[in-house]
Amino acid sequence: MQHAILAISASHLLYRRPDMAEICASHYAIVLRAMKHAVTRWKALHTRDQIALLATALALCWFETIDVNTSGALYHHLEASKFMFQTVKENLKAHDPSLFGFLAEQYAYLATVSNITLRSARFDPEMSQTLSLPSLALLNRGSNFYGCLFGCSHLVYETIPMICDLAKLRIEEGIAPSQASYQQYESILGELKAWRPTQRYFTEDFEYAGQLYREACLIFLESSFQGPDTTNSELYAAVESCLGRFLEVFAKMSYESPSWTTVMWPILTAGSHMRCPRQRGQLSDIILNSTFDMRAVDNTLHPLRLLWEKMAFDDGYYGSYGLEKVLKECGITMCVG
């Protein structure tokens, strides 16, 4: 764990200190070797050591996101974390319920926002089996770190995998939606429109983050329901008001807010649906003016710029499906966190 933290710290410093690259790589290599060795002895490890290994795997997930890994290394650590959680969760709950909750929030958050593509095979967090959790809203309720990553938006986050499932169904159906997919669409739409921030617990910036996710999920839902082969004026009109509200809320969000570090997913989702140069410029300015000295913040714009270049010549490069297409062409598997 110590080397994982040092690797994360060195990766942060790389933004201003390129000379830290060798130190960063060294700590990363050490922790990977140690992890591989420990995993081969998993069953023989004491519960305390298994829990430490789980925490290290989750730390590596954060490293891949912060270090802007483009080969999907995050997903290997998530798979390892899922296996470990399923094995140690009962002992972990008994040993330290607060530690379980803290690690569970990280896993649930990363597993949820790691899915930005709709046609590719996506990571299945198996949330109910892995965490024995019927609803994200129940995660850490009553603790002093409730919502440390999800803020006041648990119910909004829950719709992301639901929308991915709807997209899969719509791909199988083709252009005309079935009654089942339409009902699914209406149900998710109703949940998103009914969502309200829990003001009693959270500051204004957490509410802004929730609103960003809500608008991005509404966009994601409309695009998914239309399917991969449909880009028309109806879809453009459906997402336009959401894009306007997204930018309006994003402009209000303080750069000092911790919530700023959790909005990579909505930025990619909303940005991939922006056709207007003015909107793209506004989004770019907000991101580039950020006071967070993190490569992950600046590099969020990179895939969007690749997409926008393609979109100028081909309507097929639009939205989440277009983003997926351009990432595949460029050999990029993003680590979103």
How far apart are the C-alpha atoms of 166 and 170, rounded to whole Å?
6
**Four-CA torsion 258, 260, 263, 264, nearest 10 degrees:** -110
Find out whether 247 and 238 touch, Cβ atoms under 8 Å.
no
Q: Residue 188: which H helix or E strand, with range?
A: helix 179-194
With a cut of 70, list the residues of the chain below it in pLDDT.
119-123, 198-201, 230-231
Give pLDDT, residue 119.
65
Give pLDDT, residue 90.
87
CA distances 245 to 10, 183, 250, 290, Å, are 37, 26, 8, 20
Query: How would you class 22 by CB atoms within 10 Å of its CB: exposed for 0-12, middle for 13-18, buried for 19 or more?
Result: exposed
How far apart are the C-alpha atoms of 225 and 182, rounded to whole Å?
8
Residue carrying the six token digits 């109910």: 128
SS3 210: helix
Q: Residue 38: which H helix or E strand, with range?
A: helix 21-40
Give pLDDT, residue 198.
66
- Of 300, 302, 288, 283, the closest CA to residue 337 belongs to 300
How far apart are the C-alpha atoms of 77 and 104, rounded to whole Å?
14
pTM of this prediction?
Answer: 0.93
How far apart are the C-alpha atoms of 283 and 137, rounded to whole Å?
30
